[in-house]
Structures are given as C-alpha cells and as structure tokens.
C-alpha cells in the first residue's frame, strides 16, 4: 500500500521524499530522476548564474519529466547578494508551483510566491524560526536537524528533539530533514510526526547525481565521523566533508588570534567546492556532506533508491503494528 501523507497529497507525489536543493548538484538531471521515481525533485536556483539561466533549466527539466518538481531559493548572507526578486519572478513566470525556501529574511520572497499560489516548503533549524515562517503563511516546514549537511544553524538540536518539538508547536505539516537515507529513517520520521523526509547527501550518491564518481565513492567509503563543522566563529556554521581543506580551515579558525574571516576565505570558496564535483579531487576544496554518510553503502539509481525506501518504510511500519497486535494477543 502506498504511503499517503499530507506531503504526498499536497504535492501530487507518490513517495513522501523530497530531494534537497543542493548548490552545484540540483540540476535537471537529478531533479527529473527523483520526480520520475515518485519523489519531489528540486532545482537549485542559485546554481544557475542568472535568472534567465534558471528559466532555461526549468524548461530543460520539463523536457525530462512530466511529474511535479520544485525550485529551491536560498537567501544567503552576502556582500553582493544575487537578485533574489528576479529569480523569484522567473519561478512565477514559469509556473512553478512548489518552492523550497531557506535563509535570512524570506518574508518578501514568500509573499511574492504565495501571491502566485505557490506551495512553500520553508527550511529552518529551530522552532522559533519555524513559527516565524508559519506566520508568513508557508505550507510546510522543512525542519533541519543538527545532523544535516551544509548550514546547520547555531543551536545544535538533533532531530529526535527537534521533530517532536515541531509536532508540539507547529500548526502546519512539516518534513524531517538531516540524517535521512533509507526507509527506516522515513518510518521513524513519520512516527515523530513528520509528513515525509528531505534527503540531500543520499541523493548526491545516486547514478543520476551530476557530480564526479570519485565524490560518490568518497561518500560510500566515509563514516558518520567524516564531517567537519567550520565557520562557527562567525555564526555561519557549516557541516562539510572532512578533507584536507576543511581541516585546515578548522585549524585556522580555532587558533587564529585576529579572528578575521579573510584568513580562511580562500579555503572555503564556493568556486573551489564546485570544482570538486567536476574534477573529482576530493581535497581540492570544501564541499558539504552530512553525518548520514555512515548509512550510505551504494550508488543506486533514483528509481531503485525510492522503491527501496518505500518498501523498507512499509515493512517497518507493518512490523511495529504487529508489535501492538502481539501485545494485545498476550493480554
């Protein structure tokens, strides 16, 4: 029996699994493959250099799937920020009806997208921020635990606590994000009150993921201990793959007397991270990955992965139901 939740019903998808919007990963190849397999694929807006390039990528994705897919628009701190409003306008113009938002001061962008009847999935790392987003009228909260890759926030709250707090406090449905890779995690998230899960690192390690095979193999070979938290000193904490560059950046961050970001800026450059995914040199620059690497043991197609997740979740839910039936029979 298919898993039916508020997420599958609202988005028109078959499996309650969302592909995270990942920089330099969320291209049409991956998003369409996830959507074709029954999940929600997501294009990453800021992976495209201009709003018009995003328009082209949306149209390219539409040639690869007739299933629902969304666009991620993350508002990041920057000295020269992108033209977020222009990116949002392209999303509206192209008729995208599902958007994942994240980052600072999303109010104006959310208002613009909601005016176009867009379903908003807003990602946050604390209940306080989730409640603020709820007041802005978002449709789903994507609750991101400390286990996640990339921006983990500054509160270090793991999902076992964060998801139950979300169930206690939120009036809109929510998705569990950070630390998910299989159907057992999906079953657990549903038990904690979520309507589905968001996966990033797991989808990086699929056949259709547009990154170098060396990086996929590095993920398969890694453990849950192979991440590094950097930029905490500047309250922009990011979880990265623990390679030579990440360790060097962490060493400078923790020992610097001046505490100037410029001392490590060249090490945490996004351009170098993008090159990692192209040239396959694991140590060329920093790149994001989650602790969930310890659970990832293969590189399947998105179709194989989602079928497996669906079967594992259904099997685990049935097993738990049988525990209850067995307990009643013994009374």
Same-domain check for residues 65 and 118: yes
Distance of CA 98 to the CA centre of its chain: 15
Same-domain check for residues 196 and 261: no
pLDDT less than 50: residues of the chain: none
The three-state DSSP-derived secondary structure of 106-154 is CHHHHHHHHHCCCEEEEEECCHHHHHHHHHCCCCEEEEECCCCCEECCC
Same-domain check for residues 284 and 303: no
Q: Is residue 218 domain-resident?
A: no
Q: How far is CA 103 from CA 66, 131, 151, 163, in A?
A: 29, 14, 9, 19
Same-domain check for residues 127 and 242: no
User: What is the domain extent for residue 154?
Assistant: 6-211+296-330
Tokens of 296: 């990832």
Give dist(CA 190, CA 198) in Å, integer: 12
Same-domain check for residues 177 and 249: no
Q: Is residue 37 domain-resident?
A: yes
Same-domain check for residues 247 and 308: no
Q: Is residue 41 domain-resident?
A: yes
Instruction: Give the helix/strand (H/E) hosting 198.
Output: strand 197-199
Q: Is the Cβ–Cβ distance between 192 and 16 less than 8 Å?
A: no
Tokens of 316: 């685990």
Q: pLDDT value at position 132?
A: 95
Q: Is residue 155 domain-resident?
A: yes
Q: pLDDT value at position 78?
A: 77
| CATH code: domain of residue 76 | 3.20.20.70
Q: Is residue 232 domain-resident?
A: yes
pLDDT tens for each residue of 158-208: 999 999 999 999 999 999 999 999 999 999 999 999 999 999 999 999 999
Q: Residue 22: name the closest of 313, 267, 243, 239 by CA.
A: 239
Same-domain check for residues 182 and 253: no
Same-domain check for residues 139 and 244: no
Give dist(CA 67, CA 77) in Å, integer: 33
Same-domain check for residues 98 and 231: no
Helices (H) and strands (E) in the chain, counts: 14, 11
Give dist(CA 46, CA 149) in Å, integer: 17
Q: Is the Cβ–Cβ distance between 65 and 35 less than 8 Å?
A: yes
Give dist(CA 107, CA 118) in Å, integer: 14
Same-domain check for residues 125 and 248: no
What is the number of structural domains in the chain?
2
Same-domain check for residues 280 and 300: no
Instruction: Give the helix/strand (H/E) hosting 33.
Output: helix 28-36
Counting every residue written for the chain, the total comes to: 331
197 has which bridge partners? 17, 176
Neighbours of 121 (CB within 10 A): 30
Task: Tell me the pTM.
Answer: 0.95
Same-domain check for residues 36 and 155: yes
């Amino acid at each position: 029996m298919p898993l039916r939740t508020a997420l599958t019903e609202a988005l028109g998808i078959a499996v309650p699994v969302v592909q995270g919007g990942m920089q330099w990963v969320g291209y049409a190849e991956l998003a369409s493959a996830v959507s074709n397999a029954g999940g929600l694929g997501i294009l990453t807006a800021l992976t495209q250099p201009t709003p018009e390039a995003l328009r082209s990528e949306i149209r390219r994705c539409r040639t690869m799937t007739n299933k629902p897919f969304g666009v991620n628009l993350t508002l990041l701190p920057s000295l020269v920020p992108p033209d977020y409003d222009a990116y949002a306008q392209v999303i509206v113009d192209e008729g995208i009806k599902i958007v994942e938002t994240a980052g600072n001061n999303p109010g104006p962008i959310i208002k613009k997208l909601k005016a176009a009847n867009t379903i908003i999935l807003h990602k946050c790392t604390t209940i306080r921020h989730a409640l603020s987003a709820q007041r802005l009228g978002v449709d789903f909260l994507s609750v991101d635990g400390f286990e996640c890759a990339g921006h983990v926030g500054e509160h270090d709250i793991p999902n076992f606590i964060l998801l139950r707090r979300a169930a206690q406090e939120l009036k809109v449905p929510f998705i569990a994000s950070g630390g998910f890779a299989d159907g057992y995690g999906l079953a657990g998230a549903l038990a904690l009150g979520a309507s589905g899960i968001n996966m990033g690192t797991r989808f990086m390690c699929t056949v259709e993921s547009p990154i170098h095979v060396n990086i996929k193999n590095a993920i398969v070979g890694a453990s849950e201990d192979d991440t590094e938290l950097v930029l905490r000193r500047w309250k922009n904490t990011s979880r990265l793959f623990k390679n030579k560059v990440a360790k060097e950046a962490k060493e400078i961050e923790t020992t610097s007397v001046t505490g100037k970001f410029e001392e490590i800026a060249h090490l945490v450059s996004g351009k170098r991270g993008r090159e990692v995914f192209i040239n396959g040199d694991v140590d060329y620059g920093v790149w994001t990955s989650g602790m969930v690497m310890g659970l990832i043991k293969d590189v399947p197609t998105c179709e194989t992965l989602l079928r497996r997740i669906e079967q594992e979740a259904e099997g685990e839910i049935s097993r738990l139901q049988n525990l209850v039936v067995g307990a009643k029979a013994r009374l």
